[in-house]
């Protein structure tokens, strides 16, 4: 099926990683190490989207930030840290949550999106906006000592909704938010996420791969996820054809 409007930034496979513009949704435990890895890989532009401020309890795993950054907006602190590490990198800050009102325009301005949000509503919003804009995305999440990263191509097949369908109600997912996450776990998951992202940018056939990490055993597994035939987003008869704000109304799974 058509992936919707061709991404405004152009074809990532012709651009490759060095010319690429990558949007990070969430500059926290996953976004920080992912940003460092992307900068090291030589991408051209990183967009940072987050409305949070740095807190002391973030510092153990949100490795772009130091004590002097506590109280700063995360995107500003991250931009400062990245400028010091990679002066040639173009960093654009978007001090906002990703919202139904801004999602499509933000994602379509990039070659690829890294989704490291801490709540399901944003994950599904990113999935929908990226598919509608024809932008590949790698979704990642980590809770306690487990994490996952899923590579989604510009036309899905599979996409995030093939795997998880829709925003869960509050009591369906008991371990959100207060469970916390171990620093090294987000580091490994972010590395797997960026590995998939760079492969996508390089044109490698990793779309549909799900990496899962179990920090207790140290096992990092990759498996290919099949597309769901009746997926409402990327299937042949899609029901989701636009960003409808009420779709993402969900109990907050995290702060």
Partner 1 sequence: METIVRIPTPLRTLTGGADEVTAAGGTVGEVIEDLERKHPGIRDRLLDDKGVRRFVNIYVGEEDVRFLDGLKTALKSGDQISIVPAIAGG
**Rounded least distance, CB 150 to partner 1, Å:** 10
Rank residues 126 and 131 by Cβ distance to partner 1 and give the closer one: 126
Number of Cβ within a 10 Å radius of residue 128: 28
Task: Please report, as residue ranges, which positions from 17 to 36 form the binding site for partner 1 (by CB under 8 A).
Answer: 26, 28-31
d(C-alpha 45, C-alpha 204), whole Å: 21
| Radius of gyration (C-alpha) of the chain in whole angstroms | 17
> Among 82-90, 125-133, 196-204, 213-221, which window interacts with partner 1 (CB under 8 A)?
213-221
How many whole angstroms from its chain centre is CA 136? Answer: 10
Position 58 contacts partner 1 (CB under 8 A): no
Position 186 contacts partner 1 (CB under 8 A): yes
Rank residues 26 and 235 by Cβ distance to partner 1 and give the closer one: 26
> Of the candidates 23, 36, 91, 181, which one interacts with partner 1 according to CB under 8 A?
181
Starting at the edge strand that comes first in sequence, how are the strands of the sheet with 90-94 ordered? 90-94, 45-49, 21-25, 112-115, 137-143, 146-152, 209-214, 219-224
Binding residues for partner 1, how many (CB under 8 A)?
A: 47
> Of the candidates 168, 199, 220, 251, which one interacts with partner 1 according to CB under 8 A?
168
Beta strands 90-94 and 112-115, pairing class: unpaired
């Amino acid at each position: 099926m058509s992936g919707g409007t061709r991404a405004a930034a152009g074809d990532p496979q012709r651009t490759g990683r060095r010319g690429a513009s990558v949007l990070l949704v969430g500059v926290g435990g996953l976004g920080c190490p992912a940003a460092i890895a992307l900068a090291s890989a030589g991408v051209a532009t990183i967009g940072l989207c987050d409305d949070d401020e740095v807190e002391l309890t973030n510092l153990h795993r949100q490795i772009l930030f130091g004590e002097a950054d506590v109280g700063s907006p995360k995107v500003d602190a991250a931009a400062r840290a990245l400028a010091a590490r990679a002066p040639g990198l173009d960093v654009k800050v978007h001090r906002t949550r990703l919202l139904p009102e801004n999602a499509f325009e933000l994602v379509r301005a990039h070659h690829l999106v890294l989704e490291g949000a801490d709540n399901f509503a944003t994950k599904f919003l990113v999935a929908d906006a990226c598919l509608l804009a024809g932008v590949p995305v790698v979704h990642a999440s980590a809770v306690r000592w487990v994490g996952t990263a899923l590579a989604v191509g510009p036309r899905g097949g599979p996409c995030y909704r093939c795997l998880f369908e829709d925003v869960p109600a509050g009591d369906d997912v008991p371990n959100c938010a207060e469970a916390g996450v171990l620093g090294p776990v987000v580091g490994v998951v972010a590395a797997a996420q960026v590995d998939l992202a760079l492969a996508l940018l390089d044109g490698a056939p990793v779309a549909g791969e799900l990496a899962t990490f179990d920090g207790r055993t140290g096992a990092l597994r990759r498996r290919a996820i099949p597309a769901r035939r009746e997926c409402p987003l990327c299937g042949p008869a899609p029901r989701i054809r636009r960003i409808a704000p009420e779709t993402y109304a969900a109990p907050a799974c995290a702060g």
